[in-house]
Amino acid sequence: MNRRTSKNAALCGLLGALALAILSLGGLIPIATFCAPALSGIVILIAAAECGLRQGWLLYLAVALLSPLLVPERETAFVFVCFLGYYPLLKVWLERVRPRLLRGVLKMAVFNGGIGLAYWFLLVLFPVPQPEGAAETAARAATVLLLVLGNVTFWVYDLALVRVLWLYNQKLRYRLHR
């Protein structure tokens, strides 16, 4: 193993531990249920920027396997595994898709499919009683509203990934390599 490979392995190990630590905070701070997986996804993206996309995918796989076991908040772990962990890496490929409309449709399909899969797993593993009557109608309306707000938030996150990667490349990367 040469020096470069050793440095990349050590850096990916540290960034993986950081991603798991951030995911664990999702259970401690109530609002961090969705913020923690988003930040952990950014950590995975930085690992891919430093060590290569292949290493980024391997790091995602390692954190995705460990997070359901180590993260106390199951919702945080499943949102990371099913969407926010791999999306920053998949975004590299999605940005090459032309035309823009097709790229936007693919991004929306990935988001809605990933979030739908995460909550399907949660409801299968941890079932909750179904509401009846007026509560059922209110629950459906709340679900639709949350899905619409989730889609809007996804586009903000998509734009934030571009900005964070630019900031990292322009401002932070140089300081870390000194």
Query: Per-residue pLDDT for 177 more than 70?
Result: yes
- Mean of pLDDT values over 16-41: 93
Alpha-helical regions (H) of the chain: 3-28, 32-51, 53-70, 74-79, 87-94, 100-125, 134-167, 173-177
Per-residue model confidence as pLDDT tens digits over 136-164: 888 889 989 999 999 999 999 999 999 99
User: b or e along 87-119 (b: 16 or more beta carbons within 10 Å of the residue's beta carbon)?
Assistant: bbbbbeeeeeeeeeeeeeeebeebbeebbeebb
Q: What pLDDT is attached to residue 30?
A: 80
67 near 22, Cβ under 8 Å? no
**Domain segments of the chain: what residues?**
3-177
Q: What pLDDT is attached to residue 178?
A: 66
Q: What pLDDT is attached to residue 89?
A: 97
Asked whether the bond before 88 is cis by omega within 30 degrees of 0, the reply is: no
Q: What pLDDT is attached to residue 128?
A: 81
Nearest-angstrom CA–CA distance, 68 and 64: 7
Give me the residue label for tokens 């180590």: 70
pTM to 2 decimal places:
0.91
- Mean of pLDDT values over 124-134: 84
CA nearest neighbour of 165 among 45, 14, 12, 84: 45
